[in-house]
Amino acid sequence: MSLLHLEDVTRTVIPADQPALTILSGVNLTVEPGDHVSIVGRSGSGKSTLLNLLGLLDLPTSGVISFDDRPVKSYSGARRDRLRGASIGFVFQQFNLLAGRTALENVTMPLLYSSGRTFWRRKKIAAEMLELVGLGHRMNSMPDRLSGGEQQRVAIARSLVRGPRLILADEPTGALDLDTGQSVMELIDEVAERTGAAQVVITHDPMIARRARRHFRLDRGILTPVDDPAFEPLTRREMREMAPVESSPVAASEDGEREVIELFRVETEAGEPEAPSETAASAEAETEATPETETETRRTEGTDA
């Protein structure tokens, strides 16, 4: 069973007063559970357009996209939104943190859409996630008081807090220096490995691409597997050697594995819900004040067939 499957996918847009523009054509890709895929391509090659399709934000003009072996087109818009919220985590170059909200509030945000025990325990779960990315001491900091690397860690905590099965990253290290970028990737890899999440990473950076197990190139909307020795996956030893001296908090924590498992077990755990710290009504008001998705990508006006 594949997690995500694209078959002969095309994406065409019709810009105002201009002829139709085919951005992606004949794209075939299968992402298995726990997979690690990299996609490299020049600016304008269609990477973000592809990511929007992989993230169920847009539908293809032609071809079929299946999630859990079911065509995405057969889902209603609301069902697709729920599936995305529960199963897909996005990491972008721009961290897209909500200004005027603390790190903790930012990471809590996706949990406002969960139900039951997870909803009531959302602050605790978000705090645990921030601990996990090494920012337990910055929970109450506003984004503009955090460094770029710290902001990206908050964004990653927010992307992973619901335990997605698929992590989609679009130039995740584009705004970071080399060392910070490597430690951020290390962090994503560790969490993905321990939770069994699949990753699709879009990047210009060959060293980031090399971390993946399977490699693709996107050239003018055509996706091809890369069979280049330079893209041989890194060995674990090479990855360790590439990591900055101060290793990631997940790697450093002896209890990391147990913590992550605990974190995502919450949903099924039996027991008394904690006394809610806020009323459901005020939480709902908060829900309305925040966007449905954390994505601020340029949405393409498509000709969804």
Ligand X SMILES: Nc1ncnc2c1ncn2[C@@H]1O[C@H](COP(=O)(O)OP(=O)(O)OP(=O)(O)O)[C@@H](O)[C@H]1O
Question: Which positions lie near Mg ion, rule CB under 5 A?
Answer: 47-48
Among residues 41 and 249, whose Cβ is nearest to ligand X?
41
Contact status: 21 vs ligand X (CB under 6 A): yes
Residues in CB range of 109: below 8 A, 6 or more apart: 98, 101, 158, 290, 294
Contact 118, 85 (CB under 8 A): no
Residue 41: contacted member of Mg ion, ligand X, none (CB under 5 to 8 Å, by partner type): ligand X
Number of residues that bind ligand X (CB under 6 A): 14
Residue 166: CB partners within 8 Å, gap ≥ 6? 3, 4, 31, 54, 87, 88, 89, 197, 198, 199, 200
* Nearest residue (CB) to ligand X, 13 versus 207: 13
Beta strand ranges found along the chain (DSSP E): 4-13, 21-31, 36-41, 62-67, 70-71, 88-92, 166-170, 198-202, 214-219, 222-225
Closer to ligand X by Cβ: residue 70 or 220:
220
Alpha carbon distance 141, 104 (integer Å): 8
Closest distance to ligand X from the beta carbon of 97 (Å):
20
Report the alpha-carbon distance of residue 19 to residue 29 in Å, rounded. 28
What residues from 24 to 83 belong to the interface with ligand X (CB under 6 A)? 41, 43-49
Does residue 301 interact with ligand X by CB under 6 A? yes
Q: Distance between CA 7 and CA 260 in Å, rounded?
A: 34
Smallest distance from the beta carbon of 168 to ligand X, in angstroms? Answer: 13
300 binds ligand X (CB under 6 A): yes
* From the list ligand X, Mg ion, none, partner contacted by residue 21 (C-beta under 5 to 8 A by kind): ligand X
Task: Confirm or reject binding of residue 13 to ligand X (CB under 6 A).
Answer: yes
Q: Binding to ligand X by residue 15, rule CB under 6 A?
A: yes
Which is closer to ligand X, CB of 39 or CB of 243? 39
143 binds, among Mg ion, ligand X, none (CB under 5 to 8 A by kind): none
- Answer with the entry of ligand X, Mg ion, none that 273 interacts with (C-beta below 5 to 8 A by kind): none
How far is 185 from 254, CA to CA, in rounded Å? Answer: 19
Question: What is the binding site for ligand X (CB under 6 A)?
Answer: 13, 15, 21, 23, 41, 43-49, 300-301
